[in-house]
Amino acid sequence: MKTSIVRVELSGRSYDIYIASGAFDLAVSAAKDRLSRRNPVAFVSEENIWGKFVNFDNPDFENCAKIIVENGEGAKCFRNLERICRELAQRNVDRSGAVFAVGGGVVGDLAGFSAASYMRGIDFYQVPTTLLAMVDSSVGGKTGINIPEGKNLVGAFHQPKAVFIDTSFLKTLPAREFSAGMAEVIKYGLLGDKSFFGFLENLKEPLSASHPEIGNVIAHCCKMKAKIVSNDERETSKDGGRALLNLGHTFAHAIENTAGYGHYLHGEAVGLGMLLAARMSEKLGMLSEEETSRIRRILEIYDLPVKFREPISSDLLIEAGRRDKKAMSGKSRYVLMNGIGTSVVVPGIEESLAREIFETAMG
């Protein structure tokens, strides 16, 4: 097993991301190591992961809490947060304990927020099983749950102790989920690396679980994210920083919130959101028509939606946008592109423009 290691530099909270086919064994070793020091370990996973290719039912983990949540975005809720915290307490997990999140972004965000809040913070480890979680949500310490008013509106910054990315997990990932992850991969090219975007465009075969470049692509995305997170851990930078990772996300959150969680996978909404961000950028003279077309084309290669599947009320989209975390004092900020590979935060966008752009996706 050849392992790529990407370091996330955050002084006292620095950690490594291990990327390899078979990296899951490293997670198992980390859990065993903690248990050998008599520190409690709990696993949080989801229905279609546990017992499929992950097996913690060996005697070493007999006494560990194993908490399985339902599939889908709906699992990121207060009910599951409470359930996990209570189960940790019932299993006598103390401050020396750790939570291992084994699953997609939903499990990582939920388990991470549970670990952040339980006893005001215990250790946790990310073991992402989807492409989206591998390149995005498992790195950087953003954790949280949804409320009916919006996605990720409740949460914490809580960095993992390590991230273990086992690329062999991708082989059983449904095609639609793989595509959703590709939206976040493409995002890295759009927000900060023109040549990486070109590399993705020019691949002879589209990326897939068995593509020889998949490990390198994931490592490249993690490196980009690690660098951005190191410079702006809590998204307080004035000139972009971590906020640039939200390219397409203001649109995406409004779409997900309005269409109902789960109707679009997060990555699908992000893909469409990036196309809308491209159109807004083009409208403001920041991006050429040809660049917008290139973005549309690569989304289509990965079967990502380039318009709404069903009509959505633009009033509701606008209303949802107002509640987005990126809004400040009632003004809307969007991450837009000054050409492919150069994202910038643009404040003070009029609602009328957002509405016009949303309407381009209507049909």
Active site residues: 120, 142, 184, 225, 235, 242, 246, 249, 253, 266
Q: How far is the CB of 59 from a second copy (least distance, A)?
A: 20
Note the residues at the interface with a second copy (CB under 8 A). 37-40, 78, 81-82, 85-86, 89-90, 92, 94-96, 116-121, 142, 144, 147-150, 153-157, 234, 322-323, 325, 327-330
Gyration radius of the chain's alpha carbons: 20
Angle, vertex CA 338, rays to CA 332 and CA 341, nearest 5: 115
CA distances from 334 to 23, 52, 93, 238, 354 (A): 37, 40, 42, 14, 9
Q: How far is the CB of 272 from a second copy (least distance, A)?
A: 24
108 in a labelled binding site: yes
Q: How far is the CB of 104 from a second copy (least distance, A)?
A: 20
Q: Are 251 and 276 in contact (CB under 8 A)?
A: yes
CA dist., res. 321 & res. 341, Å (int)? 25
Instruction: Tell me whether residue 36 or residue 202 sits nearer to a second copy (CB atom).
Output: 36
CA dist., res. 308 & res. 311, Å (int)? 6
Q: What DSSP element (H or E) covers 98?
A: strand 98-103
Pairing of strands 41-46, 98-103: parallel
Instruction: Tell me whether residue 150 or residue 341 sits nearer to a second copy (CB atom).
Output: 150
363 in a labelled binding site: no
249 in a labelled binding site: yes
Q: How far is the CB of 145 from a second copy (least distance, A)?
A: 9
Q: How far is the CB of 92 from a second copy (least distance, A)?
A: 6
Instruction: Tell me whether residue 325 or residue 355 sits nearer to a second copy (CB atom).
Output: 325
Could you tell me the sign of the dihedral formed by the alpha carbons of 324, 228, 181, 125, in that order?
negative
User: Any idea which residue has 């709990």 for tokens?
Assistant: 42
Instruction: Tell me whether residue 114 or residue 292 sits nearer to a second copy (CB atom).
Output: 114
359 in a labelled binding site: no
The token duo for 176 is 């639609």
Q: How far is the CB of 154 from a second copy (least distance, A)?
A: 5
Instruction: Tell me whether residue 175 or residue 328 sits nearer to a second copy (CB atom).
Output: 328
229 in a labelled binding site: no
CA dist., res. 312 & res. 264, Å (int)? 12
172 in a labelled binding site: yes
Instruction: Tell me whether residue 82 or residue 350 sits nearer to a second copy (CB atom).
Output: 82
Q: Are 40 and 96 in contact (CB under 8 A)?
A: yes
Residues 6+ apart with CB under 8 A from 239: 345
Q: What is the length of the chain?
A: 363
Neighbours of 128 (CB within 10 A): 28
61 in a labelled binding site: no
Q: Which residues are annotated as a binding site for Zn(2+)?
A: 184, 249, 266
Q: Which residues are annotated as a binding site?
A: 105-109, 129-130, 142, 151, 169-172, 184, 249, 266
Q: Which residues are annotated as a binding site for NAD(+)?
A: 105-109, 129-130, 142, 151, 169-172
